[in-house]
Amino acid sequence: MIAGDVTRAATLARETLAAAVGLDWEQPADELEWSCWETVEHMIDDLFAYAAQLAPAHPSTTTHVPFGWQHFREGGPELTVFVDRKEGPAGLLHVFEASAAMLAAQVAYVPPDRISFHWYGPSDASGFAAMGVTEILVHTHDVAAGLGLDWSPPADLCTGALRRLFPDAPAGHEPWPTLLWSTGRTELPGHQRRTSWKWDGTPT
């Protein structure tokens, strides 16, 4: 996947979530243990982290860039980047847009063969772009469910993420339900819901 895929996914997500800036973002994000606010902060943090992993000229393939992180509550997400709550949901989405732009810029800039660490295995710029797209699509699903919004991302973005990160996903199903199944969020006909999962960002 490419930088434009990250930008497109983030733009669509931001436009969808912006319709709910007047609602209570402390609502749970669908079936997650996090609130809608925390889930968007998690997206922000992951997008930033993926950009950071790609940034060094000679990145490590065995450990992450050692930014500090913290929990704001037990059970909450681990965060390096967090948002001033006085800025409200509109500020949260502003930071989300900025982190997505950072990742897109790095994906567009770095050599395509640059390999950097990820907990699921080292990956390249295309892989980190696909990770960013997947984070955006599935966590926007979680937040949209918590806020009562409709969210159905484009099939081509889902297909790109599946091809890059989930090559063993079952064939013969629509891309969006298949991506939700691949990330443990739903059943598919003939396939029980996953209780654990991870993607494969191995460079292709």
Q: Give residue limits of the domains in the chain.
A: 3-151
Q: Is the pLDDT of residue 100 over 80?
A: yes
The token pair that represents 140 in the structure block: 């926007």
Q: What is the pLDDT of residue 108?
A: 98
Q: CB 169: neighbour CB atoms within 10 A?
A: 17
Average pLDDT over residues 178-198: 95
Q: CB 198: neighbour CB atoms within 10 A?
A: 13
Confidence class of residue 204 from pLDDT cuts 50, 70 and 90? Answer: confident
Average pLDDT over residues 18-44: 97
Q: Is the pLDDT of residue 165 over 80?
A: yes
Q: How far is CA 198 from the centre of its chain?
A: 13
Helix%, strand%, coil% for the chain, nearest 5: 50, 5, 45
Query: Within a 13 Å sphere around the CA of 192, how many CA atoms are in the beta-carbon half?
Result: 3
Confidence class of residue 175 from pLDDT cuts 50, 70 and 90? Answer: very high
- With a CB cutoff of 8 Å and minimum separation 6, the contacts of 97 are 10, 14
Give pLDDT tens digits for 103-145: 999 999 999 999 999 999 999 999 999 999 999 999 999 999 9
Q: What is the pLDDT of residue 187?
A: 94
Q: Which amino acid is at 92?
A: L
The overall average pLDDT reported for the chain is 96
Q: What are phi and psi of 202, to 5 degrees?
A: -50, 130
Lowest-confidence pick of 35-49, 68-82, 98-112, 155-169: 68-82
Q: Does domain 3-151 have CATH number 1.10.520.10?
A: no
Q: How far is CA 174 from the centre of its chain?
A: 20
Average pLDDT over residues 90-105: 98
- Give bridge partners of residue 99 from the DSSP assignment: none
Could you give the CA distance from residue 127 to residue 201 in angstroms, rounded to a whole number? 5
What global pTM score does this model have? Answer: 0.96
